[in-house]
Amino acid sequence: MAVAGASQRKKRGTGRQGTSSATSTDDSKWTFLTNHSHVLILLHEDPELVLREVAARVGITERAVQRIVHDLESGGFVERERVGRRNRYRVLLNERLRHPIESHLPIGDLLKLISTK
């Protein structure tokens, strides 16, 4: 039983036994912000970006970006305006962040911290 437990722990960890997570290299490539926030940041910085470019910069598929933009639009965080054959996006900066831990802050505060705009 102890052997199976050790094997399972190794699969869940970094695969390097005896090292702390603070000193080991983490191959999971996780980030503090979600893909939704990455898309939001990019659309705020450049409202006329095509979704193909957003996908390339975030590192996800164009279809995933389309779903995220739909989520952001239906959630009332982004508005889309058709300009000719392209879209222009407007982030609604006064909307509150969604999670209860950060819901006291508007999206604009997050973007001020991160955005280069």
Tokens standing for residue 72: 């952001």
Q: Structural domain boundaries of the chain?
A: 33-114
pLDDT in the model for residue 9: 46
Q: What is the spatial distance between Cα 20 and Cα 36, in angstroms, rounded to a whole number?
A: 30
Tokens standing for residue 2: 């102890």
pLDDT at residue 17 greater than cutoff 60: no
Question: What's at 13, amino acid-wise?
Answer: G
- Second CATH level (architecture) for the domain 33-114: Orthogonal Bundle (1.10)
For residue 10, the surrounding DSSP H or E stretch is helix 2-12
pLDDT at residue 22 greater than cutoff 90: no
pTM above threshold 0.85: no
